[in-house]
Amino acid sequence: MDKLQIIGGRLLAGEVRVSGAKNAALPIMCASLLTDQPLALDNVPSLMDVRTMSKLLAQMGVEVGDQEGGRVQLQAANIANPVAGYELVKTMRASVLVLGPLLARCGRAKVSLPGGCAIGARPVDQHVRGLQAMGAEITVEQGYMHATAKRLRGARIAMDLVTVTGTENLMLAACLAEGTTLLENAAREPEVVDLAHCLRAMGAKIEGDGSQAIRIQGVNALSGARHRVMPDRIETGTYLAAVAAAGGKVRLSAAAPETVAATIQALREAGAKISCRADMIEIEMDGRPGSVSVTTAPYPGFPTDMQAQLMAMNCVARGKAEITETIFENRFMHALELQRLGADISIQGNTAVVQGVARLQGASVMATDLRASASLVVAGLVAQGETLIDRIYHLDRGYEALERKLAGLGAKIARVR
Ligand code: UD1
């Protein structure tokens, strides 16, 4: 199995191009299920999760073109098999995003209960409840959701908690429902807004995306469209956190600075000089960062997907930070691995108390989930000597060309067997 070898202690310098957002590309690919016309996408990142989604859609009968230079075309002329099997779904939780569009288009779907990152229980009850409110019948048998509906009906759905893919699934379904759907307590994440942009280009009638109340007026059919996937704000934040931890001066291009505001604010508090203009972010960090306490929250709060990377930076900061995770239980698995590098972290319930140390020492560590792996990379870039990260398939799920991009910034990093 591949490992990532990092020799830490070098400053980062140069320019890196941000890729398209994984968490926008996945739901947008599922939007192709809503029409028999082609959906052409640009800026799709080359990632394992995107390949998994392509395979999942292809199994249903979607024609998925080759991905070339970020461009992919999908056409669901006929959906012969509205089924998402366990083998693929277990590797990627976002597979559940096919449920809403399949029901809306085919009137039936069989979707395995999801797996994905082992970060807490992560149920899908809000997805199911919302679709039931729209008239779907859903039963769970032998690990599969069996859903049927003659034609979904618009409904007023107040979600019990803010769920990103839940909001997206219901938004996708509501586009072809009869009548108007009102989603209350909806997720405001930029990826939800990007999906709405794509759906509108396909002819959907959606208002209020980006706010807590999204109104979708169902239409009888959607058309094909061309859409450019937004920049990845978590990848952006990860490179920014890496520079804040390791020091140096880096320019990120093809970014969307307005979507990274909470992370930029935290890193400025740590002492990084950050300037933004149009699609560019420049960061400069001199010396050790200051500690920064954060509490994760739904957008526009500090993202849970940046929590691990900020913890890694805090490991080498001056002072003590408290990091509180409110979105997922069990999302501190990286703390144990960071301790192997010499970090001083104690976990108290859903808060990690990080006392910064002057230096980390390289060691062998194991990636446990996608963003946890990213935190180990950030720590490895700062640690003295060699850090060897095992199970990097987690990283390959969500970071395009990570080692090439970091090597381009002067890091000593290589993929080894
Ligand atoms: C998405 C992101 C993921 C990010 C997360 C939170 C994608 C593909 N993934 O995941 O990277 O970490 O948002 O920003 O976009 N919940 C329920 N019932 C449900 C649905 C969710 O209880 O039906 C709970 C979850 O267990 C969790 C919280 O709600 O505690 C938020 O989860 P959610 O926003 O749904 O995360 P995902 O959409 O799976």
Angle formed at CA 328 by CA 339 and CA 120, multiple of 5 degrees? 85
pLDDT at position 12 is: 98
Q: Kindly state the greatest CA–CA separation across the chain.
A: 63
Distance 334 CA to ligand 1 centre (A): 19
Best mutation site among 163, 183, 299 for ligand 1, i.e. most ligand atoms within 8 A of its Cβ? Answer: 163
**Helices and strands (DSSP H and E) totals, the chain:** 14, 24
Distance 247 CA to ligand 1 centre (A): 32
pTM as predicted: 0.97
Question: 314 to each of 48, 254, 282, 396, how far by Cα in Å?
Answer: 29, 27, 21, 25
Cβ of 304 below 6 Å from ligand 1: yes
Q: What is the atom index within ligand 1 of the atom nearest the CA of 26?
A: 8
DSSP letter at 77 equals S
Beta partners for residue 46, in sequence order: none
Cβ of 166 below 6 Å from ligand 1: yes
Q: Please state, in angstroms and rounded to a whole number, the distance separating the CA atoms of residues 179 and 396.
A: 41
Cβ of 365 below 6 Å from ligand 1: no
Cβ of 164 below 6 Å from ligand 1: yes
Using one digit for the tens of pLDDT, what is the confidence trace for 50-109?
999 999 999 999 999 998 899 999 999 999 999 999 999 988 989 999 999 999 999 999
Q: What is the atom index within ligand 1 of the atom nearest the CA of 126?
A: 23
Using one digit for the tens of pLDDT, what is the confidence trace for 365-417?
998 888 899 999 999 999 999 999 999 988 999 999 999 999 999 999 999 98
Q: How do beta strands 280-285 and 248-253 pair?
A: antiparallel
Distance 325 CA to ligand 1 centre (A): 13
pLDDT at position 142 is: 87
Catalytic residue among 30, 106, 117, 175: 117
pLDDT at position 68 is: 87
Is 106 among the residues known to form the active site?
A: no
pLDDT at position 75 is: 98
Given a cut of 50, the residues of the chain with pLDDT beneath it are 116-117, 119
Best mutation site among 97, 111, 164 for ligand 1, i.e. most ligand atoms within 8 A of its Cβ? Answer: 164
pLDDT at position 119 is: 44
Distance 94 CA to ligand 1 centre (A): 9
Cβ of 262 below 6 Å from ligand 1: no
Q: Please state, in angstroms and rounded to a whole number, the distance separating the CA atoms of residues 409 and 14.
A: 5
pLDDT at position 114 is: 78
Question: 186 to each of 135, 328, 366, how far by Cα in Å?
Answer: 20, 18, 35
For the record, the structure tokens of 68 come out as 């070339």
Phi then psi for 21, rounded to 5 degrees?
Answer: -80, 125
pLDDT at position 47 is: 95
